[in-house]
């Protein structure tokens, strides 16, 4: 007789299998049916569509908030341009006298020297003219436009006169805008683009676009004539600009004229709503900052922060992963196999010792080691065959509802089943060890089965404190229960996330099972039996 035959009894294995086959079939069948129903029903419900719809709501709300912010920013820019335009209209009358005096001074220089002035002479003459002008009108200008810096104004006016020599066809106002306003617009837009991380080329492009927009605004403002309150005109301008910009973008992206018109019109409505709210708050005495904040609120800004965070989490939550991974495989799907393991493991050793049947077994040539190894082999075979069938059912169910198009792919479902098997392997080892240690069935059942059920309950309670539950509904203190259960090592979250951290946790579960089974075998071999 070989060593294998001495360590393993076919007759005892068959006897044990025959005694427990109804339990095995019932648990396996029930677990498979539950799993198939969960996967197929969820797959046909399209439960993630609800999540995606919620996510789309927040995405759309954020996009609307951006549109509102852009509309308000453009409105403020337009009014700023209107103020500048008004200042330039007023200031152009003063600049006319400087240009006249400058032109006369250039002519006098040519008469006195017999040659036209060079660039250095033009700069000197321009500086003298500006200084004389500011000495006469500086205090008045400061009173009219207190925000102006006279030193900066001096430099700008010198540039205006020099530019006049190069471009004599430009009007006084055009000269002022080209030398004083548009360069400032360019500088500010460029600096903002660089601050936001744009490349040199993109910053230049955005700055040029800002100047082009400013020029367009000035052109439109000239059509207003003598109107001093530009709010209504600015609102109309901004709304139309938003409409045209979006309409062109939609057409460039392949939309039809009608589709582009409908979408651009909705944007125009959003823009108008934001500006109306913005103006209302300004009229009520709010600061520009606070008025803008109120006018650009999104849905997430208008509901309590915790509720908003919870809804956003729900929008990002994998519902299939939560229900199938965290609820079924780690809780519901383990319940019946646990009951099977507790009942069978208790009956393998402690139950037979307690009933006296172990005495008949050991009265034959069958050794203790043969009994323990055979009973352990049956326990392992029962779990392996059970989860092999469960795995096959889960794979077929996933294939039925869409295969790789299902939220949980084949690789993940296989890892779920492996994790469930290793978890039950660890529990089986513990229950087997208790059955080997105790001679009384009630002790084996209460310790092995009690702790097993206790850990399942801890997992249920710990679920409410885990990251799979939205923060608004999460009870952080409940996470403590997760540290009391080895089911925590069955990390479905890391499987779904594509992380490999589940590997060392699976190794711990396997280690627990191996150690407890070995301890059970050696303990039963050496203990005194009440035979």
- Whether the Cβ atoms of residue 334 and residue 456 lie closer than 8 Å to each other: yes
Q: Please, what's the b/e burial string for 365-392 (b: 16 or more CB within 10 A of its CB; e: otherwise)?
A: ebebebbbbbbbbbbbebbeebbeebbe
- Give the DSSP letter string of 327-387: IIIIIIHHHHHHHHHHHHHHHHTHHHHHHTHHHHHHTSS--HHHHHHHHHHHHHHHHHHHH
Tell me, what's the pLDDT at 3? 45
| Stretch 17-41: mean pLDDT | 91
For residue 232 the two structure tokens come to 């209504």
For residue 131 the two structure tokens come to 């200084």
Per-residue pLDDT tens over the stretch 152-208: 777 777 887 787 777 777 677 777 777 777 787 888 888 888 888 888 888 888 888
C-alpha distances in Å from residue 183, one per residue of 93, 141, 189, 190, 486: 21, 21, 10, 10, 68
* Most confident range, picked from 60-64, 234-238, 348-352: 348-352
Per-residue pLDDT tens over the stretch 463-502: 888 877 766 667 888 889 989 999 999 988 888 888 888 8
**Which range (89-93, 98-102, 196-200, 506-510) has the least confidence?**
89-93
Per-residue pLDDT tens over the stretch 380-392: 999 999 999 999 9
- The Cα 153–Cα 160 span in angstroms is 10
Tell me, what's the pLDDT at 53? 56
- Angle, helix 47-113 to helix 150-166, in steps of 10 degrees: 70
> Residue 226: is its pLDDT beyond 50?
no
Q: What number of helices (H) and strands (E) belong to the chain?
A: 23, 0
> Residue 50: is its pLDDT beyond 80?
no
> Residue 225: is its pLDDT beyond 60?
no
| Stretch 135-153: mean pLDDT | 69
* Most confident range, picked from 53-57, 171-175, 258-262: 258-262
**Residue 490 backbone class (left: φ over 0; alpha: ψ -120 to 50; beta: rest):** beta
Please, what is the Cα angle at 387 between 383 and 388, to 5 degrees? 115
**Which range (202-216, 299-313, 349-363) has the least confidence?**
299-313
> Residue 8: is its pLDDT beyond 80?
yes
Closest to 263 in 3D by CA, of 93, 467, 60: 60
**Which range (223-227, 294-298, 358-362) has the least confidence?**
223-227
* Most confident range, picked from 35-39, 151-155, 227-231: 35-39
Tell me, what's the pLDDT at 1? 44
Mean pLDDT of the chain: 81
Radius of gyration over alpha carbons of the chain, in Å?
Answer: 41
> Residues near 351 by Cβ (< 8 Å), separated by ≥ 6?
435, 441, 444
- Report the percent of the chain where pLDDT is more than 70: 82
| Stretch 405-432: mean pLDDT | 89
Dihedral sign (CA 80, 82, 83, 89):
positive
Question: Domain extents for the chain?
Answer: 63-269, 318-526
> Residue 359: is its pLDDT beyond 80?
no
Tell me, what's the pLDDT at 305? 52
What's the predicted TM-score (pTM) here?
0.59
Tell me, what's the pLDDT at 392? 95
| Stretch 232-257: mean pLDDT | 83
- Whether the Cβ atoms of residue 385 and residue 23 lie closer than 8 Å to each other: no
């Amino acid at each position: 007789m070989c060593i294998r035959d001495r360590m393993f009894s076919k007759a005892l294995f068959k006897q044990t299998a025959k005694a427990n086959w109804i339990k095995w079939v019932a648990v396996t069948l029930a677990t498979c049916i539950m799993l198939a129903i969960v996967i197929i029903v969820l797959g046909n419900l399209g439960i993630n569509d609800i999540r995606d719809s919620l996510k789309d709501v927040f995405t759309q709300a954020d996009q609307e908030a951006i549109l509102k912010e852009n509309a308000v920013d453009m409105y403020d820019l337009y009014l700023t341009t209107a103020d500048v335009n008004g200042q330039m209209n007023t200031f152009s009358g003063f600049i006319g006298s400087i240009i006249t005096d400058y032109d006369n001074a250039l002519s006098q220089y040519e008469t006195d020297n017999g040659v036209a002035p060079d660039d250095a002479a033009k700069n000197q003459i321009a500086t003298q003219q500006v200084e004389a002008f500011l000495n006469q009108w500086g205090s008045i200008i400061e009173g009219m436009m207190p925000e102006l810096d006279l030193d900066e104004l001096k430099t700008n006016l010198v540039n205006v006169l020099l530019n006049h020599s190069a471009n004599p066809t430009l009007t006084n106002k055009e000269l002022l805008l080209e030398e004083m306003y548009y360069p400032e617009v360019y500088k500010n837009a460029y600096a903002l683009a660089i601050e936001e991380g744009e490349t040199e080329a993109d910053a230049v492009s955005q700055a040029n676009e800002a100047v082009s927009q400013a020029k367009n605004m000035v052109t439109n403002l000239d059509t207003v004539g003598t109107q001093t309150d530009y709010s209504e005109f600015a609102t109309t301008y901004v709304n139309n600009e938003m409409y045209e910009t979006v309409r062109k973008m939609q057409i460039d992206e392949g939309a039809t004229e009608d589709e582009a018109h409908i979408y651009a019109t909705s944007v125009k409505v959003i823009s108008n709503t934001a500006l109306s709210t913005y103006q209302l708050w300004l009229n009520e005495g709010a600061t520009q900052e606070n008025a803008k904040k109120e006018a650009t609120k999104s849905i997430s800004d208008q509901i309590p922060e915790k509720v908003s965070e919870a809804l956003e989490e729900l929008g990002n939550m994998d519902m299939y992963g939560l229900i199938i991974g965290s609820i079924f495989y780690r809780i519901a799907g383990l319940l019946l196999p646990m009951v099977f393991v507790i009942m069978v493991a208790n009956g393998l050793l402690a139950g037979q010792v307690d009933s006296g049947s172990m005495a008949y077994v050991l009265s034959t040539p069958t050794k203790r080691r043969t009994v323990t190894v055979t009973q352990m082999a049956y326990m392992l075979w029962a779990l392996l065959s059970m989860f092999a069938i469960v795995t096959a059912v889960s794979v077929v169910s996933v294939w039925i509802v869409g295969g790789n198009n299902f939220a949980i792919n084949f690789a993940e479902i296989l890892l779920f089943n492996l994790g469930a098997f290793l978890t039950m392997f660890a529990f089986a080892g513990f229950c087997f060890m208790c059955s080997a240690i105790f001679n009384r069935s009630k002790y084996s059942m209460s310790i092995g089965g009690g702790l097993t059920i206790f850990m399942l309950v801890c997992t249920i309670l710990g679920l409410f404190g885990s990251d799979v539950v939205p923060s608004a509904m999460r009870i952080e203190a409940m996470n403590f229960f997760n540290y009391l259960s080895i089911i925590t090592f069955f990390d479905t979250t890391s499987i779904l996330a594509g992380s490999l951290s589940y590997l060392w946790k699976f190794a711990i579960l396997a280690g627990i099972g191996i150690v407890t089974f070995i301890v059970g075998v050696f303990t039963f071999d050496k203990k005194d039996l009440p035979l």
